[in-house]
Structure 1
């Protein structure tokens, strides 16, 4: 695509030029905007149909101002990243962009299979072979980013889409989406920001160390663990405990949970959940790993879970009976030094749904208890003050605009 090589990089953002024309007319003149697909605090995704052709798309509507600050450059960054990755079959395509004084609308490829998170919620167990194929395709999508020195920074089930509803037939393609908090990392320019979702964020992010492409590899390790087991390796009773567990960098593989999971899959996770970023596998390392490059034949697949092995459903039943807190997916963003107050927003510049995580994880033996918390979280609480995300689900109220206006909003040009 012409002009890709001339993209500007400022503060980790790619600022264009955007090849896709940014149209100033009302998006409703070209598209029928129908049901809402997903909603976050700053972005809403709708089902859209082109009036003339009848083709179906996803319309992602993003506010241009957040907390009184113009963030148009972040939307331009997302558009530019999508353009650079247009040839990847595992990343959603960008078709058109519309803009008015208050919001931008990205017309994106519609993935009719929905979010992978919904599959995690609906399926009692996802077959290991299906998980392997999901991770294999995710690696292919992330590879397109990493070869451009772009770090996604928010790889998780709700940011992975199924291109169609053929999953049940074993024939599926995933699409990586939501590049709103992705960043460019280049030689001689360090990026230090608190970006990501609590369960999937890497230790170097919490420690305000430089972000690198290895940061995504940690998230892929967590993703693999979650898809194989239905539980997270690090979640505590609240965000504070989660961050301490991540900083400890210890991962447990309980025999009852991993009884029907292959040793190769466990080794794959272990090679990614390494606290030192330099010690983690790269994309190329992952593709050469036996679990990805040499999957077991059908006859070699693990036997189904026996009656003596605890199932995901049984884990959840126990967890709910113990009234464990369900952690809401949250995006953490802050710019500046480590001595700052951090507010969490559940869907900053994303198409993330706002439903609570339906599979709260069980406690791991190495994870801290509430009685241990006072001393253990001191490292984190000295630097960050967290607030649980405040989610307001309100229908659109301004004719001609797809998101509700903010009082006394100043246009963002």
Structure 2
């Protein structure tokens, strides 16, 4: 779903819906880039809001409501270009100079006088891409008063923004960029002017590529300093380190450069105090060493060494990981499905895996006769069916987690349990039989390599179609060699980019071998398609299961489901991955009768490790976190927000952020507007509300982690002894019906979602054959090539009128195959992507140009050109920049004074 259609008007009139109806609304997953273009500063602000696309409003937070209420002001053409400078008028036979006044100041050229003096001048600097850049020089103390300071980069004036800080502290003039980019490279000049005269100094800044291995070997692209003025050079610095807990850690940095060189060690950008936390720092000529006597978990983190002399600054960083045996598994192992001589034991993974994935679990047993702990079995799952138990004995169990570094400490002991008790009645026996469906069998874990040398039909029989989506279809597959039933996800992938997206999803799933996560067991690549062979999940969506007539919804049941969701997400996060698409459709029941669930669809998942600052602009408005809409860096807490929304809906049947439309929903999310005021929460415990509250925090750092969720009072309580008050399912039914209605006619990102398999009541071995239509589809996937055509615009860019200081956006949609290359032009000059100009072009052909912090210089003609091997197409529009209301009033006052 595209937001652009929702933003055509200046304002949006909400529907007259009740609070409950608004909360059960549920929009489809969308790309937020289509919304962000209309977002800008309020028209009554005299100070432009600095922003990286998408721009922030004058209030400092990205609230889309400001977009919908923004009113355009008619431009005054005769005043454009008269914001500054002076006008000369004839009066009484002479000439009078009239200066324009902006913010109360008179812009006059100062008379020349005694030259200012710099005590310290700017020095050449080399920094790594993404690291902090600071330039500074110092005026003589007697010259520091009433000085106007101007900074320029390659002749263009540098203005302060959220990324650039300019300061004058008693004559110490500085320019600071928190994260330097290649566009920040060049010649910087600092010019100081006062009634005493003017002075200036300059330096060269080089932004190095951080991917190069040896900083000392890099060649300057500009202004190589002489040996007498050489900035620090790092000769040796280690890569990321993994150290076994308890061992000594030594980080050595060797460097050169013009002395004196000061060396500062930092952890998470904060200076390290020597002697704290068993840390010592030593150094000699050309080297510095940080030593940790005994590495422990608190020593994990990012360590940076900062070298500085009079001629520049150098930094290097590494991530230190202290690895160890896993922590004990969380909570207490629980026995269920107790029979005459067997039971099923289930447990949770450890709160910390020691820095290496858990490989297996060691299950230990104790009985009331031998009264000693013995090793029972090793297994890879978090449940095990214990056989051959004797009815005369009481048993207790505990579990140890195992990784490559060793065997961890045992979990807490289970409650004593006795097998062989007679069933109360026949009904109890039947219930026990049903619970067999709830046993969590060990999934078939495989590291999948995409096959290109054979087709899926060679190894699998393709049977009936299970579902259809925008990108392809899902078929039932039967493995020829084993007769096992799988789900085949046939994905249309014509372009290299489309295929790379699917390969990325498969690569991520290879890292996610866990019982709570759906598994990919095979994959095939053809000329125009990729087939993923997936674990069959036949129980349907969790929310659909809850509204079944035979299901009793209680807070106790919600806790059981939330524990499983958190367990799965915890494992995802431990692999350095974020899911980014947690929502009801992606939580599936394993079968129709049990309570086990799995998380599916990793098409939007991303790796955080080695990814730097990751930002995304996709998701479902109802479940997405504020930092995604605000185009800020995301991390593991982004998933925790979605878990909070899911939990809110599970206990109440209401959606916490749903508005009358997508824009209102986004506004509610960015402002974190939600409550427990509905009567649906009258029956919900305070602990449940506290759990939700600590997940739906606007500050992502304040949200609970998965480990903290396991330790929260609500999830930690014994569900066997808690009260089980029945909750109403009527609101949930309305919510689900609303979602189904809204999905009609819309493509679903999770193609052919596995929920479509709900039609198979259990993993049925029923034979079936594809229809003729299905066979045609499969043949097309194998042989069809996309029709080639030259580029064209199905939607063109349109003229845009914005207020100075806000953000402007041009949108178009491009058709054509092969995929066209796209270039944007400003007055016939190609546009290079920078902080000011943000260009986006997605796989569906949607293309946009976002211009942040618009100024008068941006008032121009903009053209987008699409080119492929068959031809080209262009479309053009104009950007009209309006003067801020406050500035117009000031200019009018000046004109009145002149008259």
Identify whether the pair has TM-score above 0.5, normalized to the shorter chain: yes
Decide whether aligned partners of structure 1 residues 302 and 403 sit closer, same or farther in structure 2, where only a CA change above 3 A counts. Answer: farther
Aligned with 1:259: secondary structure? Answer: helix
How far apart, in 2, do the equivalents of 1:226 and 1:213 lie? 21
* Contact 2:527/2:782 (8 A) holds in 1: no
Deviation of 1:136 after TM superposition, in Å, equals 0.6
Aligned with 2:670: secondary structure? Answer: helix
Aligned runs of 1:117-196 on 2, under 5 Å?
A: 117-120=543-546, 122=548, 126-167=553-594, 172-186=595-609, 189-196=612-619
Aligned with 2:467: secondary structure? Answer: strand
How far apart, in 2, do the equivalents of 1:79 and 1:246 lie? 31
Deviation of 1:141 after TM superposition, in Å, equals 0.9
Aligned runs of 1:367-382 on 2, under 5 Å?
A: none
Deviation of 1:401 after TM superposition, in Å, equals 4.3
Say whether residues 1:89 and 2:521 are aligned partners.
Answer: no
How far apart, in 1, do the equivalents of 2:640 and 2:477 lie? 34
- Aligned with residue 38 of structure 1, among 443, 451, 467: 467
Say whether residues 1:348 and 2:734 are aligned partners.
Answer: no
- Aligned with residue 542 of structure 2, among 100, 116, 122: 116
How far apart, in 2, do the equivalents of 1:315 and 1:55 lie? 35
Say whether residues 1:27 and 2:441 are aligned partners.
Answer: no
Q: For residue 363 of structure 1, what is the aligned residue in structure 2?
A: none
* Contact 1:125/1:229 (8 A) holds in 2: no
How far apart, in 2, do the equivalents of 1:153 and 1:287 lie? 21
Aligned with 1:198: secondary structure? Answer: coil
Aligned with 1:114: secondary structure? Answer: coil
Q: For residue 273 of structure 1, what is the aligned residue in structure 2?
A: 696
Decide whether aligned partners of structure 1 residues 304 and 175 sit closer, same or farther in structure 2, where only a CA change above 3 A counts. Answer: closer
How far apart, in 1, do the equivalents of 2:639 and 2:732 lie? 28
Aligned with 2:680: secondary structure? Answer: coil
* Contact 1:151/1:216 (8 A) holds in 2: yes
* Contact 1:40/1:353 (8 A) holds in 2: no
Q: For residue 672 of structure 2, what is the aligned residue in structure 1?
A: 249
For 1:100-124, what per-residue CA distance to the aligned partner results, in whole angstroms no more than 9, with x for missing partners?
A: 0111111111112122243255468
Deviation of 1:135 after TM superposition, in Å, equals 1.2
- Aligned with residue 626 of structure 2, among 197, 203, 225: 203
- Aligned with residue 70 of structure 1, among 485, 492, 497: 497
Say whether residues 1:99 and 2:525 are aligned partners.
Answer: yes
Q: For residue 400 of structure 1, what is the aligned residue in structure 2?
A: 779
Decide whether aligned partners of structure 1 residues 268 and 31 sit closer, same or farther in structure 2, where only a CA change above 3 A counts. Answer: same
How far apart, in 2, do the equivalents of 1:212 and 1:396 lie? 43
* Contact 1:151/1:213 (8 A) holds in 2: yes
How far apart, in 2, do the equivalents of 1:61 and 1:182 lie? 19
Q: For residue 358 of structure 1, what is the aligned residue in structure 2?
A: none
Q: For residue 85 of structure 2, what is the aligned residue in structure 1?
A: none
How far apart, in 1, do the equivalents of 2:451 and 2:474 lie? 18
Q: What is the TM-score of this pair, normalised by structure 2?
A: 0.34
Deviation of 1:126 after TM superposition, in Å, equals 2.9
Aligned with 1:328: secondary structure? Answer: helix
* Contact 2:654/2:731 (8 A) holds in 1: no
Length, aligned pairs only = 328
Whose helix fraction is larger, Structure 1's or Structure 2's? 1
Decide whether aligned partners of structure 1 residues 205 and 404 sit closer, same or farther in structure 2, where only a CA change above 3 A counts. Answer: farther
Q: What is the TM-score of this pair, normalised by structure 1?
A: 0.71
* Contact 2:547/2:732 (8 A) holds in 1: no
* Contact 2:528/2:781 (8 A) holds in 1: no
* Contact 1:154/1:197 (8 A) holds in 2: yes
How far apart, in 2, do the equivalents of 1:52 and 1:319 lie? 40
Deviation of 1:89 after TM superposition, in Å, equals 0.8
How far apart, in 2, do the equivalents of 1:73 and 1:317 lie? 39
Aligned runs of 1:316-395 on 2, under 5 Å?
A: 328=742, 346-348=747-749, 350-352=751-753
How far apart, in 2, do the equivalents of 1:404 and 1:223 lie? 42
How far apart, in 1, do the equivalents of 2:653 and 2:775 lie? 34
Deviation of 1:196 after TM superposition, in Å, equals 1.4
Aligned with 2:777: secondary structure? Answer: coil
How far apart, in 2, do the equivalents of 1:353 and 1:243 lie? 28
For 1:301-340, what per-residue CA distance to the aligned partner results, in whole angstroms no more than 9, with x for missing partners?
A: 15345xxxxx4426867999xxx8977369xxxxxxxxxx
* Contact 1:260/1:302 (8 A) holds in 2: no
Aligned with 1:180: secondary structure? Answer: coil
How far apart, in 2, do the equivalents of 1:130 and 1:303 lie? 10
Deviation of 1:70 after TM superposition, in Å, equals 2.3
Instruction: Please identify the structure whose Cα radius of gyration is greater.
Output: 2
Aligned with 1:71: secondary structure? Answer: helix
Say whether residues 1:51 and 2:474 are aligned partners.
Answer: no
Please, which runs of 5 or more residues in structure 1 have no aligned partner? 1-17, 306-310, 331-343, 356-393
* Contact 1:190/1:210 (8 A) holds in 2: yes
How far apart, in 2, do the equivalents of 1:57 and 1:292 lie? 34
Please, which runs of 5 or more residues in structure 2 have no aligned partner? 1-445, 757-772, 789-816, 820-899
Q: For residue 303 of structure 1, what is the aligned residue in structure 2?
A: 725
Deviation of 1:248 after TM superposition, in Å, equals 1.5
For 1:64-120, what per-residue CA distance to the aligned partner results, in whole angstroms no more than 9, with x for missing partners?
A: 24xx6622222112112211112x111112211111011111111111212224325
Aligned with 2:619: secondary structure? Answer: coil
Deviation of 1:21 after TM superposition, in Å, equals 2.9
